[in-house]
Amino acid sequence: MNTLEFLSELRNLRIQLSTDGEQLRCNAPKDVLTPSLRLELAERKAEIIAFLQDSYLAGNSTFLPIQSVPRNQNLPLSFAQQRLWFLDQLEPNSPFYNILRAVRLNGDLNIQVLQQALDAIVAHHEVLRTNYISENGNPIQVIAAPQSVELQIIDLQQYGETQGEIQLQKRLQQESQRPFNLTSDIMLRGCLLQLAPQEYVLLLVMHHIASDGSSTNILWEQLTQLYKAFLDGKPNPLPKLPIQYADHVVWQRQWLSDKVLDKQLNYWKQQLAGANPVLELPIDHPRPAVQTYRGASESLILPQSLSDGLKQLCRQQGVTLYMTLLAAFQTLLYRYSRQEDIIVGFPIAARNRTEVEQLIGFFVNTLVLRTQFQESLSFTDVLKRVRQTAIEAYAHQEVQFEQLLEELQPQRSLSHHPLFQVMFALRNDVMGTPDFPGLTCSRLEMKSVAAKFDFFLSMKETQEGLIGYWEYNSDLFDRATIRRWISHFQVLLEGIVANPQQPVYQLPLLTEPERHQLLVEWNNTATDYPQYKCIHQLFEEQVELTPDAVAVVFENEQLTYRQLNSRANKLAHYLRSTGVKPEVLVGICVERSLEMVVGLLGILKAGGAYVPIDPDYPKERIAYMLKDSAVSVLLTQQKLLTSLPSHQASVVCWDIDSEAINSESEENLTTLVTPDQLSYINYTSGSTGVPKGVEVTHRGVTRLLFGVNYANLDAKQTFVQIAPISFDASTFEIWGALLHGSRCVIFSEKLPTSKEFNHLITNNQITTLWLTSTLFNTIIDENPEALSGIRQLLIGGEALSVSHVRRGLKALPSTQIINGYGPTENTTFTCCYAIPSLLDSQGRSIPIGTPIANTQTYILDQHLQPVPIGIPGELHIGGAGLARGYLNRPQLTEQKFIPNPFSKQPGSRLYKTGDLARYLPDGNIEFLGRIDNQVKIRGFRIELSEIEATLSQHPEIQEAVVIVREVLPGDKRLVAYVVSPGEKADILTTKLRGFLKQKLPQYMIPNAFVVLDALPLTPNGKVDRRGLPAPDTSRQLGTETFVAPRDSIELQLAQIWSQVLGIQPIGVTDNFFELGGHSLLAVRLVAEIEKVTQKKLPLAALFQFTTIEEIASLLKLGVVADNANPNLSPEFLPLDTDDLRALLTIVAGREGARPRPDSLMVTIRPTGVKPPLF
């Protein structure tokens, strides 16, 4: 029970409270102040004083008396009723807002008396016999005369006990889902199910437009009073009500005059200014473009000791239990969402007038509580903020949520509830077990099958302890996820009780088994590998085993292991004579050839570390790399000398110095280098625009290639070497072959065509291949059979396209496709995932798998705390594959390579990848994108990779990239770049907009689409985002200028819009809601359009097509909902009567669809319960 409700209960007992400084004065009738009540007053003294004082300061106003008003006038709806009426217009006869309660009755039930009692209830409360009709687009109340309540009697006695219970649940479900007709039905009905001669279940159902939770309690209390009186032959015991709900509605609108309303609204406008529009909880399934309401629930009983501890904390902090639980819940959301601005809705009874406390009606209001978190806050700091904000919210509770929406005009979306998506309540179920004379009664719990919000936690105090009910949208969350969250909440509460002064980011969430699983079990990757040997030593061992096997092939040339070793030794002796030794860097800038591999091996044998330089790099980049690395020797070819920038290195040319090199000894050299010393430097792109050199050790490479199970690495394999040696994939391609006795076939071209690939694979019997995801996509698009014959296909470099992988699996049934993930800083591969032949049909992405041997992965929050399964965090990597750091960048090295807090091994480190990831329940890791690739536009946090993945699902799209461009200062826009053959750009753009509207929220739809023949690539085969062309902004910018009506229909619509909105002039591209339109104005607008044009427009269409231009296109096409078209895709099936009267929209207009008079009415979402809540 919150403070306001406790004070309301005291007022019912005629107990008067007042404050005198820090003193609480109490005036109560004789014998009313019981010892238990005195104790509760003492415990809650601090919060009551604070509430009374703050309420007075925040907005104390003199209430007008509520008086009965004449019934011979149009009576308005309350603000809350207006919303439900609007939703009924949007989807007529929906069962979504049915309120129900069922009770088991055992004994002699007098059904006639029960009917009489129900009829008396409806006679007593006008609101239950009130209907709601539209007059010129505005809703009004029509109060009917008293009449008999429907009490359906269903006999289930013919069934046995087991079947009887099954039938009972089935009939209860059917009756609870039966809709009300707001224009004609009584807003209360009953259903009596008889299981045995003296065993019944009574179900009472009311519509929310006439009731709320407190009303349900009043209904059952008064029903038992009436039943008892009528059973005894006595008259109706209920005193006549001085006012009815309709009187309260009129009073509410009068009292909330401009002055009062402005005062309260100003508070809320200030309180919610700049708030996040969406709480980004980590969901298991993509958020639908249109919110669904399919729900499920779980429950939690907290131990009594924990409940007692929470109450003790409340007393210490001078707060209510409600405030403490709410602060803890918001802390949980803060930790899950990685957002510092947390907004939660909470219901309030709104019965703070004695005149309405015994009325049935829709009084409940929804308040919004915003808490802003900071890293430094302790839980007690958060609790103080929540306490203050809650008290202020109670003081400004008169503003109805619907008024708040009208005033704030948050950006509307069919995909989520406005202002908040998560609800919290501490329930005080005052209704005990109904007491029908002569009957034994027990309440029958009925699980909700609908979820009004993404997530709703309601808690209740019981004798056993606190119980929590977790209602959630099952189209967003899996049951297993919610069960984990329940355990996290309990752990969090235990941590709060143990140490409320702890910073909120340090409070525990994980159970001990979870923590052990994440940190130990899933990182148990230790295997034996030659950790004390260097790359060249392992190669020399292989030479002894297979000296005459072919080692490397280039075009028509090849070298055996013995020949390759001999030539590399000669080069190594020569390099050592020039001063090459351990930790000395040797640049290698050569074309693809056998000499390339000889050069790499020779540098390692000499003890040095190679610095690969692609001769095709821009001269400026090569100059930077030579200067930054300060290579002492540069191994190159004569033909490349003139293209190289000036440098200080000693040059060794293969062709010029060949005679001197060939005169050196071909014997193996004495190894001077150790596994912890450098093997090579790879330069990768830097965020500052200049590349950074990653220092890779010998041990990192040996850990990549030995003791692993992500691929078969043995002498039976034939590798193809495609990647530039400046790209770390070449480490796997070259040394994966040469250290296992395999053949390494060097591809002569930079980027092969599918035809060249087919020729190469067939002629060389290639078995193992590594491709960038971009190149893989291209081959799958052009000729997937080109890859047939490959037994192991590793793909990586960027996130994989699910659609391309699906096609690859189908075309290559004998190929094991492997998703290989890993930054250069951890030597090529960190995680691998062997993709199964059958993918989950709902899969949004391909997991990156689990850590390979001798590698550890940790997904951590910004404070290096491990995050639970399913919660996004930054991926950190540990183990033997870690690079030493960045060359000449000690500060960056310290920033990115940090001490490992989970290891007892001295010097153990973790690499901060900057990649966002999360654990899946099976231990695989899902890559979510770069942390710095996450953008925020108009307050919405957007994952660009999600839009890219959705675009890639379109059958005409081969590749897609989405970036943010700032068209004007501060005006950030999403731009999508797509590769699609054949289709005209304008037609394709129209198709893509329509496609994305079905799958993504409006704020995630790109502002512009650019169709390209191919995406620009970096030399390493990744998408060059910086090379993407700027879109033609003339069309996008032009939409922001005024466009006058161009035909008679657009002119008619513009006149209607001006009339409804009170704005002139209105352009045909102006957005209805951005001009101040809201839900009720939308109803009026649709009614006016139908009146003027004589054409029916579904209300839902206005929330999909929000401009005059779009609506005019719909009207020109007409609206028909008959004759199913069998050729339509499942997303565009015409309505049928079993689809729960699904939310309607129209595919037409600017979305480019041709007139389809047989199927224009379509479901936005084919399944689920789906009235959107605006």
DSSP string over 903-962: --STT-EEEEEEEEEEE-TTS-EEEEEEGGGEEEETTEEEEHHHHHHHHHTSTT-SEEEE
Q: How far apart are CA 767 and CA 777, in angstroms?
A: 19
d(CA 360, CA 207): 11
Supply the pTM of this predicted model. 0.79
Confidence at residue 1166, expressed as pLDDT on a 0 to 100 scale: 28
Q: Per-residue confidence at 1035, pLDDT binned at 50, 70, 90?
A: very low
pLDDT in tens, 326-337: 999 999 999 999
- The tally of CA atoms less than 13 A away on the side-chain side of residue 1145 is 25
Q: Domain spanning 79-248 has what CATH number? A: 3.30.559.10
Phi/psi at 795 (5° precision): -125, 145
CA distance 345 to 369: 6
557 three-state secondary structure: strand
Q: What is the pLDDT of residue 65?
A: 81
Cα end-to-end distance, the chain, whole Å: 28
What's residue 1157's pLDDT?
Answer: 25
pLDDT of residue 411: 72
DSSP 3-state of 93: coil
pLDDT in tens, 784-810: 999 998 999 999 988 888 989 999 999
1013 CB-near residues (< 8 Å, 6+ apart): 979
pLDDT digits (tens, 9 = 90+) for 565-583: 999 999 999 999 999 999 9
Token pair belonging to 268: 């809320």
Residue closest to 1110 by CA, chosen among 1081, 1069, 1073:
1069
User: Tell me: domain 3-59, CATH 1.10.10, correct?
Assistant: yes
Same topology between domain 3-59 and domain 1048-1163: no
Residue 258 has pLDDT above 70, yes or no: no
For the chain, what are the domain ranges? 3-59, 79-248, 256-509, 939-1037, 1048-1163
pLDDT band at residue 1155, thresholds of 50, 70 and 90?
very low
Residue 376, both tokens? 């430094």
Average pLDDT of the chain?
85
Q: Name every residue whose Cβ is closer than 8 Å to that of residue 793 and which is 6 or more positions away in sequence.
A: 769, 771, 776, 787, 808, 812, 815, 816, 817, 818
Q: Please compute the mean of the pLDDT values over residues 1141-1151 and round it to a whole number.
A: 25
> Mean pLDDT lowest for which of 181-185, 245-249, 764-768, 989-993?
989-993
Arithmetic mean of pLDDT, 697-718: 96
> Tokens 């601090």 map to which residue?
46
CATH 1.10.1200.10 applies to domain 1048-1163: yes
- CATH T-level assignment (fold) for domain 256-509: Chloramphenicol Acetyltransferase (3.30.559)
| Segment 92-133, tens digit of pLDDT | 878 888 999 999 999 999 999 999 999 999 999 999 999 999
Q: Please state, in angstroms and rounded to a whole number, the distance separating the CA atoms of residues 168 and 159.
A: 10
**Can you tell me the distance from the alpha carbon of 858 to that of 847, in angstroms, rounded to the nearest whole number?**
15
Residue range 939-1037 forms a domain whose CATH class is alpha beta
